[in-house]
Homo-oligomer: A and B are copies of this chain.
Amino acid sequence: MAKKTVPSVRDALRVRPGSGLHLGPRDTPVGPATKAEAADLLAATGERLAVLQEALYAESRRSVLLVLQGMDTSGKGGTVSHVCGLVNPQGLRVTSFKAPTRQELRHDFLWRVRKQVPPPGYIGVFDRSHYEDVLIARVQELVPREVWDARYFAINEFEAELAEAGTTVVKVFLHISPEEQRERLIARLETPAKQWKYDPADLVARSRWTEYEEAYRAALERCGTAAAPWYIVPADRKWYRNWAVASVLLETLEELAPTPPEPTYDVAAELARITYADPWG
């Protein structure tokens, strides 16, 4: 369990439904103030995460699903690399959701998502998710209003179902400023090794920033449920972002408090077998 004396990162960053959510300013209400401090805290967090993840895997009874959303360049990939890289890849399942294929479009929007829900023992990470179906689908009018409008309800039902079945859903909105996005897009274009990450459609989306922000606001407000809360992570500084997401994940695992199962065999008898009755001893 999280100690009561430590201020909870989740409490500080959680979206409270009906609280008249506004997305900015991107201040940092808790946590490290410098990059060096963040590095120390992240290392310590990583060690505790690794222990708890092994226990989750050993227990093999429940799972955690971390959903990452945010504008282009907000750092979803970087978060996967720096935060999820702290735990054993054996117990991790990362899924990157691209534009749906023709086959996927023939099904309900949750069809492809259900197949990627982490099984017991695993931490699943969604780099983009079913929320795209109320974000780009809404802003770019890929489907009629009544279709995307019904999806908030479907998402809440789906996530409540997951919670019921033992999957703790943690949703993180990586919140960057348009100024920071501009810098990052320019950096991508100016760095040959990063040019493959750039897509001219990024600037189309950028030109509709306010509409996207409104779509995010709606998703966070309508789907920030007790069963599957949203967290807003200030993401203009990568070191703050990594620390914050790692901390939200750590607090989630601490609350779950997974414990490896008790041995179903007789430990002393097994030790005796290998100590005294071993042909290779």
Contact = CB atoms under 8 A, between A and B. Distances in A.
A2 interface: no
A78 to B, nearest CB: 9
Interface stretch (A135-143, A167-175, A193-201, A230-238): A193-201
Q: Determine the interface band of chain A, counting residues with CB < 8 A from chain B.
A: 35 or more
Interface string A256-281: 00001101010100110111001111
A100 interface: no
B265 A198 contact: yes
Contacts of A39: none
Nearest to A275: B186
Nearest to A265: B200
A190 interface: yes
Given A80-B90, A195-B267, A281 B182 contact: yes
Contacts of A80: 88-90
A7 interface: no
A166 interface: no
A219 interface: no
A168 to B, nearest CB: 19
Contact of A127 (B84, B90, B196, B199): B90
Contact of A209 (B88, B182, B200, B280): B280
B189 A271 contact: yes
29 contacts: A58-B196, A58-B197, A77-B88, A80-B88, A81-B89, A81-B90, A84-B90, A85-B88, A85-B89, A89-B92, A89-B94, A90-B94, A90-B96, A90-B127, A181-B280, A182-B280, A182-B281, A190-B271, A195-B260, A195-B267, A196-B263, A200-B265, A200-B270, A203-B270, A203-B273, A206-B274, A206-B278, A206-B280, A209-B280
